[in-house]
Amino acid sequence: MVAGAPIALLIGTRAGLFRWHGGSLAPIGTGSDAITALAPLPGSQVAAATERGRLLRVRPDGAVAAIDETPGSESIASLHWVPGPASRTAGTLLVGTAAGRLLASDDLGATFHRVEPLAHGTAAPLVVVGIPGRPRSALLLVARREILLLADPSGALEPWHADGTDALVQLAADPGDAELWLARATHGVARSRDGARTFAAVAGWPAGLRPRALHVAAAPRPRVVVVAWPGTEPPDPSDPSPLWLSADAGLCFHPVASRLVDRARDPSGELTTVASWRERDGGVLAFGTDRGEILAWSDEARPARLLADGLPPIETLLAAPTDATIDPSTSGIHLLP
């Protein structure tokens, strides 16, 4: 994402999809299904997946261009766009289902086919993640313990990593270093320096603190962000919040004070998901909450600012570059002060 480029923030909630751009918040006409995954598509479009297996294609102006369903209406857990080798608009959309299946579409969701059957005893959401510097390839996290390499959408799956020390839930790579990967595990955070072939638990991560979201921001590079399940008591302003940061590529983490990201001072389990984008003076982190708020934060010396509230509980965010603006006459639009 180009520094300073205008962005639209796509907001997936438990009751539909919303779009924030230029201080305005608008619902997107996708119904009230829970949004489970978002991914950029060519032409500043965005793919949005739902719990009921619908695939939505959103144009830059926020209009829905297509509504399709996966075979069997399987719930979608992850999305990843693989560009074609010769065309900027052609490519393959990879879809990981909640039941652990891998589907692919070469026509932006009009039709799907199975890439390869994944026969595993435990059905778990299939996580599909792109590899920095290898736009035609992807890693697949299968049954939370095995990682497979898809070198090309038309190729076979290859073994990449298998280690049962702790179940991995999410993978994230440093955008500028394909060898550096972070993983959210069921009981902590793991780190890889060999391209996700092997992982080691991050030393010093507090015992019993379960991560619920992981993000690697490009600026300042790399800035690793982890949102953790909070304690049960309301925090004091100086207490640690659920937000933990690392400025040394995931070697060490430190908690952010609650006063910087917790606006309401109630039990602070509110942070659920993270997105980021670049601005001319650095990077911006955006957080979604289970109270339906969007917070933007860039400076550890200042509190996060409120971008939007009054939304359904937020599940996922995607910051995408855009040149389009929302039409203020759109039904249901909310203009923020």
- Span 146-165, pLDDT tens digits: 899 998 888 788 899 877 66
- Confidence (pLDDT) at 326: 46
Phi-psi region of 133 (alpha: psi -120 to 50; beta: other; left: phi over 0): left
Q: How many domains does the chain have?
A: 1
Q: What's the pLDDT score for residue 37?
A: 95
Residues 98 and 89: their CA atoms lie apart, in Å, by 28
The answer to whether residue 335 sits within a structural domain is no
The residue that leads in pLDDT, 120 or 114, is 114
Start-to-end CA distance of the chain, whole Å, equals 27
What Å distances lie between residue 258 and 95, 160, 193, 293, CA to CA? 36, 39, 31, 16
Rg (CA), the chain: 19
Lowest mean pLDDT among 35-39, 153-157, 256-260, 301-305: 153-157
Asked which of 76-85, 109-118, 123-132, 167-176 is least confident by mean pLDDT, the reply is 109-118
What distance lies between CA 22 and its chain's CA centroid? Answer: 21
| Local structure of 212: helix, strand or coil | strand
Q: Is residue 308 part of a domain?
A: yes
Q: What is the pLDDT of residue 232?
A: 64
Range of the domain at 98: 7-330
DSSP state at residue 15: T
How many whole angstroms separate alpha carbon 320 and alpha carbon 60?
9
Q: Which residues pair with 275 in a beta bridge?
A: 286
Torsional class of 233: left (φ above 0), alpha (ψ -120 to 50), beta (otherwise) = beta
Q: Does some domain include residue 2? A: no
**How high is the pLDDT of residue 231?**
66
Q: What percent of the chain has pLDDT over 70?
A: 85
Overall average pLDDT of the 303-328 stretch: 81
Q: Which residues pair with 157 in a beta bridge?
A: 150
- The stretch 231-241 carries a mean pLDDT of 75
Give the angle 324-330-335 at the CA atoms, nearest 5°.
Answer: 80
pLDDT of residue 286: 93
Residue 117 in any domain: the answer is yes
Tell me the C-alpha distance between 246 and 251, whole Å.
7
Give every CB contact of residue 259 below 8 A, 6+ residues apart in sequence: 237, 238, 303
Cβ(288)–Cβ(315) under 8 Å?
Answer: yes
Q: Is there a domain that residue 230 lies in?
A: yes
Lowest mean pLDDT among 46-55, 59-68, 149-158, 243-252: 59-68
Strand partners, 250: none
Is pLDDT at 105 greater than 50 in this prediction? yes
pLDDT of residue 337: 31
Confidence band for 328, pLDDT divided at 50, 70 and 90? very low
- Tell whether the model's pLDDT for residue 245 goes beyond 50: yes
Q: What is the DSSP string of 250-273?
A: TS--EEEEHHHH-SS-S----EEE
The reply to whether 1 falls in a domain is no
> Which pLDDT score, from 0 to 100, does residue 236 have?
77
Query: 337 lies in a domain?
Result: no
Does any domain span residue 266? yes
Asked if 225 contacts 287 with a C-beta cutoff of 8 angstroms, the reply is: no
Question: Across the chain, what does the average pLDDT equal?
Answer: 83
- CATH number at 117 reads 2.130.10.10
Q: How confident is the model at residue 71 (pLDDT cuts 50, 70, 90)?
A: confident
